[in-house]
Amino acid sequence: MENTINKFEKYLAYERRSSKMTIRAYQTDLNQLMIFLLERYEVKAWNAAEHSMIRSWIVDLMQRGLTNRTINRKLSSAKSFFKFCLRQGLLEKDPVAEINILKTSSRLPSFAHEAQILDLDQSDLFTADFSGARDKALIFCIYGLGIRRAELIGLRISSYDKERSVIRVLGKGNKERDVPVVPALKKIIANYLSLYSSEFGYALDSPMFILDNGLLIYPKFVYNVVSKYLSTVSTLKKKGPHTLRHSFATHLSNQGADINALKSLLGHSSLAATQIYTHNSIEKLREVYKQAHPRSKDS
Catalytic positions, please?
A: 148, 172, 242, 245, 268, 277
Per-residue b/e over 121-149, b at no fewer than 16 CB within 10 Å? beeeebeeebebbbbbbbbbbbbbbbbbb
Question: For residues 126 and 248, what is the distance between their CA atoms, to the nearest angstrom?
Answer: 21
**Alpha-carbon dihedral angle through residues 194, 148, 142, 115, given to the nearest 10 degrees:** -170
Q: What distance lies between CA 287 and its chain's CA centroid?
A: 29
Q: What angle do CA 281, 284, 287 make, to 5 degrees?
A: 155
Alpha-helical (H) ranges within the chain are 2-14, 20-41, 51-63, 68-87, 114-122, 130-145, 149-153, 183-199, 219-230, 241-254, 259-266, 271-274, 278-292
Question: For residues 106 and 126, what is the distance between their CA atoms, to the nearest angstrom?
Answer: 36
CB 235 within 8 A of CB 132: no
- Collapsing DSSP to helix, strand or coil, 177 comes out as strand
For 181, list phi and psi in degrees, rounded to 5.
-110, 115
